[in-house]
Structure 1
Amino acid sequence: MAILTAGRPAIMQTVAARTGCPGDKNIQMADNSFSDGVPSDSTEAAKNTSNAEKLTDQVMQNPQVLAALQERLDSVSHTPSSYIETLPKAVKRRINALKQLQVKCAHIEAKFYEEVHDLERKYAALYQPLFDKRREFITGDVEPTDAESEWHSDDEEEEKLAGDMKSKLVTDEKEEAAAEEPTPRGIPEFWFTIFRNVDMLSELVREYDEPILKHLQDIKVKFSDPGQPMSFVLEFHFEPNDYFTNSVLTKTYKMKSEPDKADPFSFEGPEIVDCDGCTIDWKKGKNVTVKTVRKKQKHRGRGTVRTITKQVPSESFFNFFSPLKASGDGESLDEDSEFTLASDFEIGHFFRERIVPRAVLYFTGEAIEDDDNFEEGEEGEEEVRAAAGHGVARVALSWPEGGSPRAVGR
């Protein structure tokens, strides 16, 4: 084979150096016969050449050497791009034409996702009456009827048997005590319990956030109006509390569904590209997003020391409503900022697609068990990515077959 024989001494020396096989010395001898210069006697030179070839042939019969050489040849990069470079100009021209068609496909796909967004908006209006009733049950404004409260679980027979046994053991005194026990209103701490159950959210919550989140009554998703740029708003509804005067805190996520001009082939569906928060009207001394620190200052001239107080940012879930802005002036964000922004996008997407539609299942933990059943690499996997080369962290959304949008990495 030509690829094995060309430059054989040099190749064999490299292979021998890597493998440490018994033929190393012979290979080195063969190589030296070529590196010491041209012998003065032509006959001697021919003899040396013949000996070198014999030694090389002997080494080539060594299985270790052949395996190492084959491994080295196999490791030579044969990328698609290197193959394309070898094609005739006429073929390259046709490939360029295919790329033009692919760009047009990407633009059609973008229109498809815009129509899917319109459809999602339509069905959001159908879901909302059910979500409104959910809020009434949670807050206790409305008590569900017996028919609305009926639910047949898989363990219904076991529960019935346990209930029968319990009823036989309960005394009249205990029944009277239970009758006197106050019944809580609605479902206490419903949304706060979801925050505690979901790792992605619990990591954001600090101890001083918890009393505030216990006042959270509802989370809603609202989509942009028809004809407006794609976006959605998360609304966090709070009952009156001692921390801020807002009844609703909002977070707006801006989206786009169009191929990037610089990289149209990277298009995989709508992307969250930016977000806006809202101003929280904190009551005096109740702002958990800042903390007061004391710092000593020494006067340069007099040498006197004074103590000053200043406010510095504090970690809190409520920083969620003061998000980092995506760079819109062409400047790139640093790596930490890109990660922070991408994480923010993922959380917003998770509220929209998982938490709000399936709140009761995250409250009971059933949805969390379903999420844990997914393994890495399956279609249900969610990833965050930073858009390379654009200086903007983004979350791309795609619609898996038979499902709703999900975040995907690219």
Structure 2
Amino acid sequence: MVSRLISSSGHRRPPGDRSTVRTVPTASGPDVPTARSILRGGARNKSIQMADNSFSDGVPPDSGEAAKNAGGPGQSAAPETQLEGSPAEKLTDQVMQNPQVLAALQERLDSVSHTPSSYIETLPRAVKRRINALKQLQVRCAHIEAKFYEEVHDLERKYAALYQPLFDKRREFITGDVEPTDAESEWHSENEEDDKLAGDMKNKVVIAEKPAAEEPNPRGIPEFWFTIFRNVDMLSELVQEYDEPILKHLQDIKVKFSDPGQPMSFVLEFHFEPNDYFTNPVLTKTYKMKSEPDKADPFSFEGPEIVDCDGCTIDWKKGRNVTVKTIKKKQKHKGRGTVRTITKQVPNESFFNFFNPLKASGDGESLDEDSEFTLASDFEIGHFFRERIVPRAVLYFTGEAIEDDDNFEEGEEGEEEELEGDEEGEDEDDAEVTPKKEPSQPAECKQQ
């Protein structure tokens, strides 16, 4: 299941745009624009109407005179007695004999036919009615798709319960509470043959040296989750130097899904061992989700999206709150002119601001651009923890998952560059690479 921030980007004709040639009903069929019908429509208004002066380029100032002389030197123009109808119709027929006018008309009509919205505008009312019926069906499809994703969420909850015993054992190995057996710790590396060869070579070389010092055997896997934070760019960018000693106490990260029948959501739980910074054993972040088409824009629905999030209160020990900093400020008395120094606390950049997020606007007021970007980034990080970090933690610890992600991205770029080279005929060397009952969890709160 993919959480997305949905936005509509449909191509729509600007209001008041009259740059396209208008259609005129003809006796032979529906409202299809033709060069002759356009000119005749203008002639009935006693002038030749050309939308937005679209035929001004390449048309002689006196098209009627040009039509009279279309036959060239020595040839007389068709006598007026051969023209039937009003003078306006005569003028239309004369202009239609001018190849420059016809070429300009054809070019204009070609541009109209290549614009989907303009093409739809030319369709008969009966066809437009059927198109509206198709849109009604599409909305119904979107609602069925929403039900599909709700069932996917139920499946995720079901299988999360199957994964959890494995994740619990993972935590025991990381913390050192349990030591894996020989069978559990056996793993065939891709470089196993190289390692074996190197070992054989060492055995053949006899070197007199001091007895090797006993190899250290720390408890569990030290700094497991902190190492993941350092390895993943998206997370390392949030971590400040003063956050690092705290993150070294992180023992586990869990994902909990909302209970059946409750609004769709998930909770990230960050489990810490006792430390000198705060008293909470668990810090939580709840992401609320929505899986239903937007009434105002149902065609933009592409699956569940995170719509809001809530953090928790961190009970910082005295003088240990890294999310604020104390500054000194001098104040001067207006009357006496004396100066005093005061101290105040101001926000400080820290990963732990992650647990005191911005709130999505629920009162109809829109957020400013910076706030929208911050909230969108928060949603992306929460989704990344849920979909990638927690399920594949060991691979982000070793860096293998990061290498896989990088290789996939480079492969896409390489294909794109190759295609561009084929189209433009350039050499390769010239290519520029450039989330009403939430799951059981600690009480929610705000920074203190």
Shared fold per TM-score greater than 0.5:
yes
Q: Does 1:312 align with 2:346?
A: yes
Equivalent of 1:224, from 247, 258, 276?
258
Tell me, yes or no, if structure 1 residue 282 matches structure 2 residue 325: no
8 Å contact kept, 2:325–2:346: yes
Structure 1: segments with no counterpart, 5+ residues: 16-26, 35-45, 379-394, 396-410
Structure 1 residues 11 and 85, CA gap change in structure 2 (3 angstroms): closer
Identity %: 85
* Contact 2:54 2:108 (C-alpha < 8 Å) held by counterparts: no
Partner Cα distance (2:72, 2:402) in 1: 70
The alignment status of 1:135 with 2:135, answered yes or no, reads: no
Q: In the aligned structure 2, how far is the partner of 1:170 from the partner of 1:213?
A: 45
Separation of aligned partners in 2, 1:224 and 1:170:
63
- In the superposition, relative to structure 1, how do residues 53 and 353 fare at CA in structure 2: closer, same or farther (>3 Å)? farther
Unmatched 5+ residue regions in structure 2? 1-33, 40-47, 74-94, 413-434, 436-448
Match of 1:158 in 2: 194
**Cross-structure match for 2:372:** 338
Q: Which amino acid aligns with 1:85?
A: E
- 1:88 alignment partner in structure 2: 124
Q: 1:12 to 1:268 in 2, by over 3 A?
A: closer
CA drift of 1:82 comes to 2.4
**Could you say which residue in structure 1 is the equivalent of 2:279?**
245
SS at match of 1:311: strand
Match of 1:14 among 32, 57, 61: 57
Q: State the SS of the aligned residue for 1:295.
A: strand
- CA 1:169/1:139 → structure 2, altered by over 3 Å: closer, same or farther? farther
Query: Which is bigger in relative contact order (C-alpha 8 A, separation at least 6)?
Result: 2
Kindly indicate whether residue 212 of structure 2 is the aligned counterpart of residue 177 of structure 1: yes
CA distance 1:163–1:293, change in 2 (3 Å): same
Partner of 1:388: none
Mapping of 1:3-402 within 5 angstroms?
A: 14=57, 30-31=60-61, 78-169=114-205, 174=210, 176-178=211-213, 180-375=214-409
List, as ranges, runs of 4+ consecutive aligned residues in structure 1 with deviation greater than 6 Å.
Answer: 5-10, 46-49, 51-56, 68-73
Whether the 8 Å CA contact 2:112–2:119 is kept in 1: the answer is no
Q: Provide closer, same or farther for how the CA distance between residues 376 and 108 of structure 1 changes in structure 2, counting only shifts above 3 A.
A: farther
**Structure with greater helix share of residues:** 1
1:313-358 deviations in Å (ceiling 9; x for gaps): 0111110000100011111111111111011000000000000000
The alpha carbon displacement at 1:137 in A equals: 0.9
| Normalised TM-score (structure 1) | 0.76
SS of the counterpart of 1:374? helix
C-alpha distance in 2 between matches for 1:376 and 1:260:
35
Q: Tell me the residue number matched to 2:77.
A: none
CA deviation string 1:74-93 (max 9, x = no partner)? 55584322222222222222
Q: Quick one: distance in 1 between partners of 2:395 and 2:261?
A: 34
Deviation at 1:133, TM superposition (A): 0.8
CA shift in 2, pair 1:167/1:54, >3 Å: farther
Alpha-carbon shift at residue 98 of structure 1 (Å): 1.7
Aligned-partner SS, 1:134: helix
For the Cα contact (< 8 Å) 2:272–2:282, is it kept in 1? Answer: yes
Alignment partner of 1:375: what SS?
Answer: helix
Distance 1:261 1:8 in 2: 41
Rounded to whole Å, the distance in 1 between the matches of 2:65 and 2:158 is 89
- Aligned 8 A contact 2:270 2:284 in 1: yes
Cα 1:173/1:139, change in 2 over 3 Å: farther
Find the counterpart in structure 2 of residue 407 from structure 1: none
Structure 2 Cα separation of the partners of residues 376 and 52 of structure 1: 62
- 1:37-87: CA deviations, max 9, x gaps? xxxxxxxxx86775699799xx979xxxx8x99887755584322222222
Higher share of residues assigned strand: 1
User: Structure 1 residues 219 and 168 mapped into 2: Cα distance closer, same or farther (>3 Å)?
Assistant: farther
For the residues of structure 2 that align with 1:77 and 1:198, how far apart are their CA atoms? 49
What's the offset of the Cα at 1:227? 1.1
Please say if residues 146 and 292 of structure 2, whose CA atoms lie closer than 8 Å, have aligned partners that are also in contact: yes
C-alpha separation between the residues in 2 aligned to 1:257 and 1:275? 15
Return the letter of the residue paired with 2:265. Answer: S
Structure 1 residue identity aligned to 2:212: A
Amino acid at match of 1:292: T
Query: CA offsets per residue over residues 354-378 of structure 1, 9 Å max, x none?
Result: 0000011111111011111233897
Q: What secondary structure sits across from 2:239 in the alignment?
A: coil
Question: Secondary structure of the residue that 2:295 maps to in structure 1?
Answer: coil
Q: 1:250 to 1:167 in 2, by over 3 A?
A: farther
TM-score by length of 2: 0.70
Shift of 1:184: 1.3
Spell out, residue by residue over 1:81-139, the C-alpha distance to the aligned partner (whole angstroms, 9 max, x if none). 22222222222222222222211111111111111111111110111111111111111
Residues 11 and 375 (structure 1), Cα distance of their counterparts in 2 relative to 1, 3 Å cut: same
Deviations 1:366-410 (A, max 9, x none): 1011111233897xxxxxxxxxxxxxxxx8xxxxxxxxxxxxxxx
Looking at structure 2, the residues matched to 320 and 197 of structure 1 have their Cα atoms a distance apart, in angstroms, of 18
Measured at CA, do residues 89 and 155 of structure 1 come closer, stay the same or move farther in structure 2, by a change above 3 Å?
A: same
Residue aligning to 2:26 = none
Find the aligned partners of 2:324 and 2:204 in 1 and give their Cα distance: 56
